[in-house]
Amino acid sequence: MDRFAGKQRARGMGATVIAVGMVTRDDVEAAAARTRHVVRHTPLTLVEPGVFPGTVMLKLEQLQHTGSYAVRGVFNHVIHALERQTFDPDAGLAAAYTPSIASAVVHAARRLGIPATLFLPVGASVDAEVLDDSCGPLPEGTPAGEIMLVRVDGSVADARIEAQRHATTSGALHCAGLGAEGWPEMVAGAGTVGLELWTQTLGQLDTVVVPDRARALAAGVAAALAGHVRVVEADGGRVD
């Protein structure tokens, strides 16, 4: 099976094909099985006829526990590592505090009952809801993971370096973010969106459009639907 899935990047009216990821549909199906009890299967809603040519539906990933598809990739990354015993659960998770990853890491840690350490630059603001109650109620009996914040001098890039250093020295699992390169479990987890789309539309699906910069989502959906559906990464500020 070809382990490279293709996608397109839409810029205005043009598009170029780029190669992404080392993830297959089998990897995405494994991620779906692994995370089936901890992520929501989000609904589709039909866009009012006449707004766009053809039939257009929206996948409501904002209904995930954390308001984003990111939790799919983080859960798959963490549970996969737990299965393989590649990190120390007592050391927990380590990540730089960024909007794209913090709430997903906190939610996964709380749900799985392991600690998490978030690194952020001195002076950077913190969304209290991310650390407190944005994750919603946990199932009865779930142990609460401790969440720690560590301030570092420098930028977000420096915070990422400190998170990696902490993971290396403590045995924690590094959750670096949602880029498509080097994080196959993140990509496969995000790709479960594609499997749900295929099931929800009974395979009557032609094109999936994902936001620009949602690299793990685009790569994962492309892997899940390879050979069946065109996946387009669209720059919302430039596509007519």
| pLDDT at residue 135 tops 90 | no
pLDDT at 213: 79
**144-202 residue pLDDT tens:** 568 888 999 999 999 999 999 999 999 999 998 665 455 899 999 999 999 999 999 99
Nearest-angstrom CA–CA distance, 8 and 108 = 31
In DSSP terms, 130 is beta-bridged to none
For the ranges 5-14, 47-56, 88-97, the maximum mean pLDDT occurs at 88-97
For tokens 């994902």, the residue is 210
Q: How far is CA 27 from CA 45, 58, 92, 129, 206, in A?
A: 27, 24, 24, 32, 22
Average pLDDT of the residues of the chain: 83
The model carries a pTM of 0.84
CATH architecture of the domain formed by 5-64+182-234: 3-Layer(aba) Sandwich (3.40)
CATH 3.40.50.1100 residue spans of the chain: 5-64+182-234, 70-174
User: In the sheet where 207-211 sits, what is the strand order?
Assistant: 14-20, 5-11, 230-234, 207-211
| pLDDT at residue 115 tops 80 | yes
CATH architecture of the domain formed by 70-174: 3-Layer(aba) Sandwich (3.40)
- What beta strand segments (E) does the chain contain? 5-11, 14-20, 44-46, 57-59, 93-96, 116-121, 147-152, 173-174, 207-211, 230-234
> Percentage of the chain surpassing pLDDT 70?
79
Nearest-angstrom CA–CA distance, 239 and 198 = 25
